[in-house]
Amino acid sequence: MDWLPVLLGLAVAFSAVMYVVMDGFDLGVGILIAGAPSEDDHATMINSIAPFWDGNETWLVLGGTLLIAAFPLAYATLLPAFYVPLMTMLFALVFRGIAFEFRFRANRFRSLWDTAFAGGSVVAALCQGIVLGAFIKGIPVSNGAFRGGALDFLSPFGVVCGLGLLAGYALLGATWLIFKTTGTTGRYGRAAARLALPATIAFIAIVSVWTPLAYSQIASRWFSWPNILYLSPVPVLTASVACGAWRAISGPHDWLPFLLAIALFLLAFLGLGISLWPYAVPYAATLWQAASSPPTLAFVGIGTAVILPIVIGYFAFAYWVFRGKTTGQTGYGH
């Protein structure tokens, strides 16, 4: 059963994409909150993500669970390697989540909780980008275990990826505001998107140039014949989506910039997948080497096939229930 690890690898990648896109936009709103024009906009921004943000983090849990069940070797080597940034990210998410609840009960300390909310969003985004950078860079593995130091994750490339994801999440958050809010908040979303989009594209470009220069296998994956022919649509499509997004920010369709920002993320993710295929732990273990035994994979596969449609179903339902524009008047739904 050679295709089972691939199928489950796709399930893990799907969870990661869903997490990045969905928690991405609500982290992005958190990143942008410090620049909100007024207290009303501030409230509107938080209300626009209030029904969704904690559900969006479901994908983080699902991805982690799938990873430990289907690819225990990847889980056992990657998590010790990324222990410090991942724990920092979790603490940032804790403070961000608590700030949601306490903000509405606070009077004197409201600005403190707002700082926790914005700071938590920024730190979580940076940490995720740093982890991505360290993942692309590869980790020292011997005898199926991580053999590095606690601070090995830090590198200039990781910092670039961290800032890149920060810009990308800000773009998702800004386009979400265009999509879901009106008036001054919507205008603020457009202004923020005009800054975040060029920044995101710049970081995508830097990573796209840096990785083939630094890793010969990534260079040969993209530039060897006939791969260059098959893969050329990816950068071409990315460039055209970026141009379309720039025009859509000023365009009449409020939903279009958000959709194109998601498309940009999907293309970046596809590019990453092409670069790193077929590794589960880059340059150390392939999907097949990292996979569980076939019976375990079959068990996990059946479970995933049942659970995934249910999760997608209730997500679709939640987004449908809270469709349309958010206003500042509705309180936090408790």
Of 153 and 188, which CB lies nearer to other proteins in the complex structure? Answer: 153
Tokens representing residue 5 in the block: 């690890």
Closest approach of Cβ 259 to other proteins, in Å? 37
C-alpha distances out from residue 132 to 79, 159, 242, Å:
12, 10, 22
Which region, judged by CB under 8 A, interacts with other proteins, from 25-33, 88-96, 119-127, 200-208?
88-96
What is the C-alpha separation between 5 and 133, in angstroms, rounded? 24
Other beta carbons within 10 angstroms of residue 199's beta carbon come to: 16
What's the 3-state SS for 40-89? HHHHHHHHHHCCCHHHHCHHHHHHHHHHHHHCHHHHHHHHHHCHHHHHHH
Counting contacts by CB under 8 A, is residue 84 touching other proteins? yes
Binding-site size, other proteins (CB under 8 A): 18
Give the tokens for residue 44. Answer: 């509107």
- Rounded to the nearest 5°, which phi and psi values hold at 104? -80, -10
Query: According to CB under 8 A, which one of 37, 39, 105, 202 is a site residue for other proteins?
Result: 105
Check the CA dihedral 159-21-79-282 and report its sign.
Answer: negative
Candidates 58-66, 82-90, 181-189, 318-326: pick the segment binding other proteins (CB under 8 A): 82-90
Cβ(52)–Cβ(322) below 8 Å: yes
79/206 with CB nearer other proteins? 79
Q: Which of 76, 161, 165, 196 binds other proteins (CB under 8 A)?
A: 76
Give yes or no for a contact between 282 and 29, defined as CB atoms under 8 angstroms apart: no
Q: How far is the CB of 328 from other proteins (least distance, A)?
A: 23
Question: Is position 51 an interface residue for other proteins (rule: CB under 8 A)?
Answer: no
Rounded distance between C-alpha atoms, residue 81 and residue 78, angstroms: 5
By CB under 8 A, tell whether 331 contacts other proteins: no
Q: Which residue has the tokens 């670069």?
A: 275
**Phi, psi for 140 (deg, rounded to 5):** -70, 120
> Which one, 269 or 283, has the nearer CB to other proteins?
283
**Which C-beta is closer to other proteins: that of 151 or that of 306?**
151
Quick note: the x/- pattern for other proteins over 137-156, rule CB under 8 A, is: --------xxx-xx------
Local structure of 248: helix, strand or coil: helix
**With respect to other proteins, which residue has the nearer C-beta, 119 or 183?**
119
- Minimum CB distance to other proteins smaller for 158 or for 164: 158
* Residues 179-238 interacting with other proteins (rule: CB under 8 A): none
Strand, coil or helix: 286: strand
Region of 59-67, 90-98, 121-129, 286-294 interacting with other proteins (CB under 8 A): 90-98
Q: How far is the CB of 106 from other proteins (least distance, A)?
A: 8
Q: Is there binding between residue 94 and other proteins (CB under 8 A)?
A: yes
Binding residue (CB under 8 A) for other proteins from 13, 34, 79, 160: 79
The angle formed by the CA atoms of residues 78, 274 and 155, to the nearest 5 degrees, is 45
Taking the complex as a whole, how short is the minimal distance between the CB of residue 122 and other proteins, in angstroms? 17
Per CB under 8 A, residues contacting other proteins are: 76, 79-80, 83-84, 87, 91, 94-95, 98, 102, 105-106, 145-147, 149-150
